[in-house]
Chain A
Amino acid sequence: MAMDTRKCVGCSDCVVACQTENNVPLGYCRDWIVETVKGSYPETVKMHFASERCMQCDNTPCVRTCPTGASHVIEGGIVKVTHDECIGCGACIEACPYGARYVHPDGYIDKCTFCDHRLEQGMNPACVDVCPTSCLIFGDLDDPRSPVSKALQEKDWYVLAPEAGTNPQLYFLK
């Protein structure tokens, strides 16, 4: 997934769409908005928004530290948690540099799934479809002709905490 920080207006529609689509319990969330301001008055002040969620990392510390294998990577690179295998120890939460996981009130660990139940039906994740400025670009990064691959070829991008060595797969377009 790529996220165009130049287009995002910080409306939080993606957050609400996710909560509705995935029945996220009240008081929790799987994605959120970060507003960054660069510079200080009276010099040039620049502001941009970013919609953040699980980075579906290529090198997954959460899957590595999971003692039961409940955290796993499915085909296509999405990181998921099998509820019946999760003991709720919290190791994956400690392992995640992005704070993208949470303890579901039912006890298991929960996180963004890129709405894989929607992907199976050929749809986009709920956050992508609902975005009013189309700043979220979703697709197959292995396919050079997919919109997300093209966006990454055309624009400059950055990822969060590359020094954590997780090779995150959510790219932010500058």
Chain B
Amino acid sequence: MEEILNVSGRVIPHVYPHLEIWGSAIAIYLFIGGLAAGLLFFANFFYLSGKQNSMPMTIKVAPIITPIIISLGLILLVFDLHHKLYFWQLLLHIKMRSPMSWGAWTLSVIMIPAILWPLTYLEDTIDYLKKRNDKCKLIGLFTWANNLVNKIKPLVLLLNFFNKYKKLAAYLTIYLSIILGVYTGILLSAFNARPLWNTSILGPLFLTSGVSTAAALLMWLSNNPLERKLYSKIDLFLIAIELFFIIHMFMGMQAGGNAQVEAAQLFLGGPFTASFWVLVVGLGLVIPATLEILELSGFHVPIGIISFLILFGGLLFRFIMIYAGQASSFHVL
């Protein structure tokens, strides 16, 4: 029997005795990253499938959300840095072995199509809003933005250029959006010092969860029954994959080394058991999936509830993973 009795002289705020360097800002940022990746993926994917007219919300209207939330996420991230005024150092270096570095680069690159894409659809967005609700206050804002865009000649030329190569851009953006979605998970799985995060399934799991939250948001925003039904089906499929990945993750950990078995215990009897299984798996996955099945089989279920639960579950999942991950270690004091 061995036990460590006493540690003296050790005072390290946020590191010892409890590691808590990353908090809610990172969790929200990862949620936003996944959501943005999903929105971009759907817009570009259905654009390439030639659904411009049947899915206006996905392709023309919703993409305006992407650059806004990515900017919000980046602002959050910069404010979470401890050496804030040096954040530009991130864009002076490329470190391929550091997920944070190539993730920051992916985000910077993906910002270009994320901004240009909705700008090419500003007029369609205004039309769409007018058709749906004439008194919508956003119409004025978008009309002002559209006039502004048309006044800036280089931007008009750039948008024309973008329109010309839109198909190529869409292929590239799909690829980038998948990288962005996976990155939100790989960012965590790169740390072998945190056994809970150190599993390669985290990348696909976060990607699936991100795309699923995007599908939920699109389902909520759209008023087209066919579009809603499609996203309902997509979400059901993604939730099934997510549940599979989650089980797969715990199976992998249970079969792993001591540190990983202990990490899995955080969710299988440990302090995060109730919050994870009840709130994330129950409220965020199983219940919305059940409601969706009911909805698809003819019952009337308010879409807002389903979408909210999925979005809420996705956000909470990231919160719990961030905090639980930092509670898992190799027990080296």
Chain A interface residues (CB < 8 Å from chain B): 10, 12, 15-16, 27-29, 31-40, 52, 61, 64-70, 84-91, 93-99, 101-103, 106-109, 160-161, 163-165
**Is B193 a contact partner of A90 (Cβ separation < 8 A)?**
no
Q: Which 8 A-B pairs have the closest CB atoms?
A: A88-B82, A88-B83, A32-B10, A107-B83, A15-B9, A67-B101, A97-B193, A90-B21
> Can you name 21 A-B residue pairings with CB atoms under 8 Å?
A10-B8, A29-B9, A31-B9, A35-B4, A35-B7, A61-B192, A66-B98, A68-B89, A69-B95, A87-B84, A93-B15, A95-B191, A97-B330, A97-B332, A99-B15, A99-B333, A102-B15, A103-B13, A107-B83, A108-B86, A109-B82
Interface of B is mostly: loop
Given contacts A12-B9, A64-B97, A88-B81, whether A34 and B333 have CB atoms under 8 Å apart is: yes
Residue B6 contacts which of A35, A84, A107, A161 (CB distance < 8 angstroms)? A35
Q: Contact at A38–B1, with CB atoms within 8 Å?
A: yes
Please name all residues of chain B whose beta carbon is closer than 8 Å to the beta carbon of A29 when the two chains form the complex: 9-12
Q: Taking chain A's interface residues, is the majority helix, strand, or loop, or is none over half, making it mixed?
A: loop
Contact flags B89-118 to A (C-beta < 8 A → 1, else 0): 110110101111100100000000000000
Q: Size class of B's contact patch?
A: 35 or more
Let me know if B90 and A67 touch, CB within 8 A.
yes
User: Is A93 a contact partner of B21 (Cβ separation < 8 A)?
Assistant: yes
For B97, list chain A residues within 8 Å (CB): 64-65
- List residues of chain B with CB within 8 A of the CB of A97: 192-193, 329-330, 332
The CB with the most chain A CB atoms within 10 A, among B9, B16, B85, B89, is that of: B9
B89 touching A85, Cβ below 8 Å: yes
The distance in angstroms between the C-alpha atoms of A68 and B104, with both chains bound, is: 11
How far does the alpha carbon of A109 sit from the alpha carbon of B21 in the complex, in Å? 11
CA distance A37 to B100 in the complex (A): 40
User: For the complex, what is the distance from the CA of A65 to the CA of B93, rounded to whole Å?
Assistant: 13
Distance in Å: Cβ of A92 to nearest Cβ of chain B: 9
B residues in contact with A95, CB < 8 Å: 190-193
- List chain A residues, Cβ under 8 A from B193: 61, 94-97, 164
Query: Closest approach, in angstroms, between the C-beta of A35 and any C-beta of chain B?
Result: 4
Whole-angstrom CA separation of A154 from B250 in the bound complex: 44
Known interface pairs A65-B98, A67-B104. Does A94 touch B21 (Cβ–Cβ under 8 Å)? yes
Q: How far is the CA of A76 from the CA of B22 in the complex (A)?
A: 32
A164–B3 CB distance below 8 A: no
Q: How far, in whole Å, are A163 and B64 apart by their CA atoms in the complex?
A: 47
Chain B residues within an 8 Å CB radius of A35: 4-8
**What is the CB-to-nearest-CB distance from B56 to chain A, in angstroms, rounded to a whole number?**
39
Closest CB-CB distance, B19 to chain A, in whole Å? Answer: 7
Q: Which residues of A contact B81 (CB under 8 A)?
A: 87-89, 107
